[in-house]
Amino acid sequence: MVCVFLVDRAEKAALRVGFAVSSRQFNAVRRNRVRRLMREAVRFECAPLNAAVTQLRVSADLVLVFRPRADLDVHRLTLAPFRSDVADVFNRLAERLLEPAHA
């Protein structure tokens, strides 16, 4: 999973997340399944990033891009790997935002 983000000063703190899955590699059913898993992982793991965004009063726009491996079977995917990847990305981003240089 790759994360592209933009953080900007704002009057109202906001966290918006978008999801991208390649249509070249997956049909619509598989893309939607991956998006649902990504969306659920974000719902579970957004607390640290949401807290940082609220504390700093910034607007954060993120796009999570799903990059599959060649041997990946989407129907066998579970929520656990998505949660760990999203938690890792969100924790690193929250730490980066809260560094003194960005305050």
pLDDT at 101: 55
**Domain enclosing residue 82, as ranges:** 2-102
Query: Number of helices (H) and strands (E), helices first, in the chain?
Result: 3, 3
Per-residue pLDDT, averaged over 80-87, amounts to 93
- What confidence tens digit (pLDDT) does each residue in 21-77 have? 988 888 899 899 999 999 999 999 999 999 999 999 999 999 999 988 777 777 888
Query: Which CATH number goes with the domain that contains 45?
Result: 3.30.230
pLDDT at 22: 87
pLDDT at 89: 94
What is the count of structural domains for the chain?
Answer: 1
Does residue 8 contact residue 58 with C-beta atoms inside 8 Å?
A: yes
Placement of tokens 């079977």 in the chain: 73
